[in-house]
Structures are given as C-alpha cells and as structure tokens.
Homo-oligomer: A and B are copies of this chain.
C-alpha cells in the first residue's frame, strides 16, 4: 500500500511592503519540497490593525482546512511582528533570524523601521530603471538602429528566442541599456553581420534555442505557417549559430532558462556594470 500524499497547506507571505521579498524567499525554500501548496500574499501589513485582519484570515484558513498554515514574514516593525506570531500558524521570520547576528557582525544597530524592501525604491534608481526601460522599448525588435552607441548590449537572435523579455528585464532589474535586433532571413542567408551592426560587434550578445522548442513557440503565434515549421526553425537556428561562431559573438541557449537566468547570464558574461545597486 502506498502512503497517502501529504495534505495541502496554505502558505501566507506576509509583508509590510509589497510582499515580493517574502514571496521570493519563501518560494525558493518551497521548491525544495515535492509538495503542493496554496499560496496567499498579504502585502502592506504595516500597522497593528492590518496585522489583526491578517491573523483573522490566517486563523480562519487554519480552522477550515484543519491544517496549520505557514507564515513567511518579512515584517520589520516589532509590534506588528509580535502580533503576527500569535496567529495559529508556523511562523518563519526572515527579519528576526538575521538582523541580530548582522548587527553584531557590523557593530551597528539596525533601524527596525520599514525601509525599501527590495532596494529599488528610491528616486534615483526609479529614474535609472525607467530610462533603461524606455531605451529597451524604443530599441525593441530592431525598430530603430540609431543610438546603438548608447546601448550597453545589443541582443541578437532569430524571431522568438526571448530577445524582448530579456532586454526589458535587463532594464528593469539592472538598469542596463539593452537594444535587440532580430536576425532576418536575409541576414542569415548572407552569413554575415548587417553592415550597421559591425561597428557595435563588441556589444552583441546572441540568443539561441532548440529548434523544437522554437517551433512550439512560433506555432502559437502563426500556426501551421512556414515560419513555424520545424524545418524553417532548424535552418534559421543553424545559420544563426554559425554566424555567432564566425563573428565570435558570445551566446546563450535559452531553451530551459527563465527570463531571469538569461538576463543574469548576459550580465555575467559581458561583465557589464549594473546601475541598480
């Protein structure tokens, strides 16, 4: 007889700000367990009244599911956090665990005040990110090749390899100026870089992908077309990769990568300086 699967718990991500830090941390832990969870984020819990409302919701879940929920908390204020600890739940506290040993190590007292919960809240960083994103948007998909001298990186690849999301993510997360240019069939038949790209060769970064995965993606866009045929995907990829090799353009295979992983890989391989620390 097989053992029955473990029952489904509810995970609450509780935060005095957006909840993004709490989600990020909690989910990285939860992926270590081969268990399914219900997940609920409770953002902006930044005063005792909101804490009491959160506790009500958590206790109701505990009662209805007959299972003790789990709380991942990044709440900074002591009074709010102490209230949350009284909920009928297992309480995992990112703040308490690290802040005391960190104070000891740094020899400085912490403020215990709500701060920028993910380090991207202030105006300078806001402006940096917005400017980078505007750059990415106006230089998306080769719509203009002017101002490439301002680019930190020019992402190249055939259609649907992930150039747009990775360019935008580089802008939002790292303040990187990322243009992207789609290699057309003409470019690929020529077997060399378009002339206007040649002065920027050192800024180029290639994206490639497995042909069958590319076909799946293209199929969703234009079903049963030449564009989405496996043969077409294969030949485009083959020629693009040959071009990257010939021109010594660094490249990454995006087949099994998340947008974050592609962006981080580009950042690391190009040794670009991010603008958002």
- A residues sitting closer than 8 Å to B (CB atoms) are 6, 9, 17-21, 23-25, 27-35, 39, 43-44, 68, 70, 74, 76, 90, 92, 94-95, 97-99, 101-102, 105-108, 110-113, 115-121, 125-127, 129-130, 133-134, 137, 140, 162, 164-165, 168-169, 172-173, 220, 257-261, 263-265, 268, 277
B29→A102 contact, CB < 8 A: yes
Contacts of A140 in B (CB 8 A): 137
Query: What residue of chain B has the Cβ atom nearest to residue A126's Cβ?
Result: B258
A106→B35 contact, CB < 8 A: yes
Residue from A43, A76, A261 whose CB has the most chain B CB atoms within 10 Å? A261
A76→B32 contact, CB < 8 A: yes
B32→A112 contact, CB < 8 A: yes
A118→B260 contact, CB < 8 A: yes
In the assembled complex, the Cα of A153 lies from the Cα of B129 at a distance in Å of 23
Contacts of A164 in B (CB 8 A): 133-134, 137
From B18, B28, B31, A260 is in contact (CB under 8 Å) with: B18
B43→A173 contact, CB < 8 A: no
20 further A-B contacts with Cβ under 8 Å, apart from A31-B119, A43-B268, A70-B102, are: A6-B107, A18-B261, A21-B24, A21-B25, A25-B94, A27-B118, A31-B116, A32-B102, A32-B112, A34-B108, A97-B98, A116-B258, A120-B258, A121-B257, A129-B165, A133-B164, A137-B140, A168-B168, A168-B172, A172-B259
Contacts of A29 in B (CB 8 A): 95, 98-99, 102
Query: What residue of chain B has the Cβ atom nearest to residue A40's Cβ?
Result: B277
B120→A35 contact, CB < 8 A: no
A165→B172 contact, CB < 8 A: yes
Query: What residue of chain B has the Cβ atom nearest to residue A34's Cβ?
Result: B111
From B133, B168, B264, A20 is in contact (CB under 8 Å) with: B264
B110→A33 contact, CB < 8 A: yes
Given A20-B173, A169-B172, A261-B17, check contact A108 B35 (CB 8 Å).
yes
